[in-house]
Structure 1
Amino acid sequence: MQTENDVRNRISVVFAEFGETQNKLAGGDSATQKRLNRQLSNNGAAITVDTLLLILNKHNDVSAEWLLRGIGDMRTLPAGMDAPEDAEIANLETTVETLSKMVAKYKARIDELEAMYLPEQKRNVG
């Protein structure tokens, strides 16, 4: 079972990852900074929804599921992507599609050139 201190520890990880501080997060508002200090110190006051939203809104690529429950990765992935492999597969599919179109275009041009020059060659040989 997750505890509030587990959430505090994950908030510390976010701060370390992004070079965040309570003062930066508070945006210079001393009342907010005091509240953050009380909530984020070990065994401090209860962490409020406002504080969690402040962190998640400022760092919108941080997963709320990870922050609150410790499930998954810290960073969220683009919509529709479940894993980094999905991005690689999507890139490969795009590359294959592009190359297929290029091959079809070159084949059509080759057919065009053959139609123009092969009959001429046959006339010159015969």
Structure 2
Amino acid sequence: MWGAANQIMDGLCSGDAFWYFQPWLIGQGQRWWHHATQNPDNLADLPAVRALAGRGPRDWADSEWPHWEELAYVAPRACDRITGGEDSLEEALNARGHRTYSDPEPTDRPWDSDSLAQIEQRLPRLARLFPRQHYMKP
């Protein structure tokens, strides 16, 4: 999924950007989230993604960027409100042995999301919708 987000964002998807991309994807609704999680190349079907195609990130309005940082704070704020504490969600997750929820380190088999050949193999539809504008490895 991170590679797909990186393709859409023309190689600009850092760890923070991917963290904000995830609530954006969830915010597209259960139908689209589920469709994309079946295969990251399915992001090519999302209306919000298709609206960005043909333009580079420099041409996107702030409201079009596929990230919703604010949505990432809904659950922690709700947990704090319910418990009356601060950072209560993170503490609860840590107590149960879960990794910090803001750590988007991939857990699948690594691949080079800057390799044109690998992108075309793994994400053919996104590669067509979002050809990279900056230097890429062959």
TM-score (norm 2): 0.23
TM-score (norm 1): 0.24
> Considering only CA atoms, is the larger Rg found in Structure 1 or Structure 2?
1
Q: Per residue, is there more helix in 1 or in 2?
A: 1
